[in-house]
């Protein structure tokens, strides 16, 4: 394993120290291990708290700031945060109008956030939870852990964050978050596995002509192993899978995220976005807004995910609202 780190056990804490040094607009609580807006709590504003394992940067710490999250709780690498830190963050940013927890649908994340929400309720806080489960590669079923939360998390955080910033009420902010999630589908490919500092070697090995299709963001293998194909074909397969689960028809508008998983260069992401745009144009779907880059990553995994969200006027309006975070900034 070759990484720019010191002791593997200190990676998360040291990266948080770097984040704090880089961004005066953030307040990093090293002891409780959370990242909050420096100006939190904001009285009367619904607060948004998210979190999850580290290794997905800029998610979530890089999305803390005006117009998006009030706090983020990074766990160890690929390990969901613990209830204590979620509770501490929730209390730190609660401005009296309630707190929305944005939780990616993984057993660990769900349970830890749930425990934290119960503890917060015990202390008299109002918490609403928005569960993100956009990954269409996983067959949904009440008898399994269900679909994973991946790229759509960014859209949920941005759009719900914008509504909270402009004064949305607790129920409204949670509702738009759920609406964005329900309107979103994602599909990802990996060319290589990432390496966690603790494990010290890639999560899986792939021959030089094979890829994993339907991967998540935790270095786990995907739904199936396939031969590498031209980007054009991979994009078509991914869009077929997404549109099967989340139909978009002629005249619909979409928010599109082409997201690198950490080890894929931007030139490839743009090439892929070009292919996505071509397919959606064929199908008569308009791309209202897009984002191309590394936003919801899986350490150094070479790979990418595509997320489509069926857009409403309100979503587009909130997408365009100012946001000022380390990882996403416009209008500010």
Partner 1 sequence: MDVALAITWLRAAAEAVTADADELTRLDSAIGDGDHGVNMRRGFTAVTAVLDATEFTGVGDVFVRAGTALISKVGGAAGPLYGSAFRAFGKTLPAGPEVGLADLVTALHAGLDAVTRLGGAAPGDKTLVDAYRPALTAFEEAVAGGAALAEAAAGAARAAGDGARATISMTARKGRASYLGDRSAGHQDPGATSTWLIFQALADVTAP
Ligand X SMILES: Nc1ncnc2c1ncn2[C@@H]1O[C@H](COP(=O)(O)OP(=O)(O)O)[C@@H](O)[C@H]1O
Window 282-321: contact mask with ligand X (x via CB under 6 A): ----------------------------------------
Size of the site for a copy of itself (CB under 8 A): 66
The residues near 178 (Cβ < 8 Å, ≥ 6 apart) are: 130, 131
Concatenating the DSSP letter of every residue in 285-331 gives -EEEEEEEE-SS--TTB-EEEEEEEE--HHHHHHHHS-EE-SS-EE-
Contact yes or no for 101/49 (Cβ under 8 A): yes
Q: Could you say whether residue 224 binds a copy of itself (CB under 8 A)?
A: no
Contact by Cβ (8 Å): 291, 304: no
For 113, the enclosing helix (H) or strand (E) is: helix 107-122
Among residues 23, 60, 101, 218, the one annotated as catalytic is 218
Give, as ranges, the residues between 190 and 229 that touch partner 1 (CB under 8 A): 196, 198-199, 203-204, 216, 218-224
272 CB-near residues (< 8 Å, 6+ apart): 231, 235, 258, 304, 306
Partner from partner 1, ligand X, a copy of itself, none contacting 223, C-beta within 5 to 8 A by type: partner 1
**Does residue 266 contact residue 292 with C-beta atoms inside 8 Å?**
yes
Positive or negative: CA dihedral 204, 189, 293, 37: negative
Contact of 252 with 288, CB cutoff 8 Å: no
Q: Is 209 in the site for a copy of itself (CB under 8 A)?
A: yes
Is 294 near a copy of itself (CB under 8 A)? yes
Reported as half-sphere exposure (CB side, CA atoms, 13 A), residue 9 has a value of 0
In the set 65, 67, 81, 185, which binds partner 1 (CB under 8 A)? 81
User: 151, 161, 185, 263: which one contacts a copy of itself (CB under 8 A)?
Assistant: 263
Closest Cα partner for 279 from 327, 317, 231?
231
101 is catalytic: no
Closest of 92, 11, 88, 27 to residue 61, by C-alpha: 27
Q: Is the peptide bond before 58 cis (omega within 30 degrees of 0)?
A: yes
CA distance 220 to 198: 15
> Based on CB atoms, which residue is closest to a copy of itself, 12 or 73?
12
Asked whether position 199 contacts a copy of itself by CB under 8 A, the answer is: no
Site for Mg ion contains 79 (CB under 5 A): yes
- The contacts of residue 169 (CB under 8 Å, 6+ apart) are 46, 97, 98
Site for a copy of itself in 106-125 (CB under 8 A): none
Applying CB under 8 A, which of residues 50, 80, 184, 192 lies at the interface with a copy of itself? 192
The answer to whether residue 140 forms part of the interface with ligand X (CB under 6 A) is no
Residue 168, class by beta-carbon neighbours within 10 Å (0-12 exposed, 13-18 middle, 19+ buried)? buried
Say whether residue 231 binds a copy of itself (CB under 8 A). yes
What does the radius of gyration of the chain's CA atoms come to, in whole angstroms? 19
Annotated catalytic residue within 23, 56, 60, 101: 56
Q: How far is the CB of 164 from a copy of itself (least distance, A)?
A: 22
Stretch that binds partner 1, among 23-31, 100-108, 228-236, 319-327 (CB under 8 A): 100-108
Binding residue (CB under 5 A) for Mg ion from 34, 63, 78, 189: 78
Which residues in this chain contact Mg ion in the complex, by CB under 5 A? 78-79
Which residues in this chain contact ligand X in the complex, by CB under 6 A? 79-80, 107-108
Which residues in this chain contact partner 1 in the complex, by CB under 8 A? 53, 75-84, 106-108, 111-112, 114-115, 137-139, 143-145, 148, 196, 198-199, 203-204, 216, 218-224
Which residues in this chain contact a copy of itself in the complex, by CB under 8 A? 1-7, 11-12, 14-22, 54-55, 57-58, 62, 77, 189, 191-192, 194, 206, 208-209, 211, 228, 230-232, 234, 262-275, 277, 287, 290, 292, 294, 297, 299-300, 302, 304, 326, 329-332
């Amino acid at each position: 394993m070759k990484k720019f780190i010191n002791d593997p056990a200190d990676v998360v804490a040291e990266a948080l120290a770097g984040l704090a040094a880089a961004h005066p607009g953030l307040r990093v609580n090293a002891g409780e291990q959370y990242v909050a807006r420096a100006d939190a709590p904001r009285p009367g504003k619904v607060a948004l708290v998210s979190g999850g394992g580290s290794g997905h940067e800029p998610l979530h710490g890089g999305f803390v700031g005006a117009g998006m999250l009030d706090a983020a709780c990074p766990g160890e690498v690929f390990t969901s945060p613990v209830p204590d830190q979620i509770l501490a963050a929730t209390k730190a940013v609660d401005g009296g109008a309630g707190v929305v927890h944005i939780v990616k649908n993984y057993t660990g994340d769900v349970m830890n956030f749930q425990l934290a929400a119960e503890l917060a309720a015990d202390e008299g806080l109002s918490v609403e939870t928005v569960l993100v489960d956009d990954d269409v590669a996983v067959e949904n079923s009440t008898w399994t852990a269900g679909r994973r939360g991946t790229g759509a998390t960014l859209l949920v955080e941005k759009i719900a964050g914008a509504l909270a910033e402009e004064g949305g009420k607790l129920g409204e902010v949670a509702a738009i978050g759920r609406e964005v999630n329900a309107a979103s589908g994602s599909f990802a490919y990996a060319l290589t596995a990432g390496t966690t500092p603790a494990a010290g070697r890639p999560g899986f090995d792939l021959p030089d002509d094979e890829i994993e299709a339907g991967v998540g963001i935790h270095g786990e293998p995907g739904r199936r192993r396939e031969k590498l194909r031209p980007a054009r074909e991979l994009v078509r397969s991914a869009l077929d899978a997404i549109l099967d689960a989340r139909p978009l028809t002629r005249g619909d508008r979409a928010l599109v995220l082409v997201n690198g998983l950490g080890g894929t260069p931007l030139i490839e992401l743009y090439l892929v976005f070009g292919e996505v745009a071509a397919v959606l144009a064929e199908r008569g779907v308009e791309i209202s807004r897009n984002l191309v880059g590394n936003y919801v990553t899986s350490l150094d995994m070479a790979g990418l995910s595509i997320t489509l969200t069926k857009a409403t006027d309100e979503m587009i309006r909130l997408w365009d609202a100012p946001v000022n975070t380390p990882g996403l900034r416009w209008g500010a």
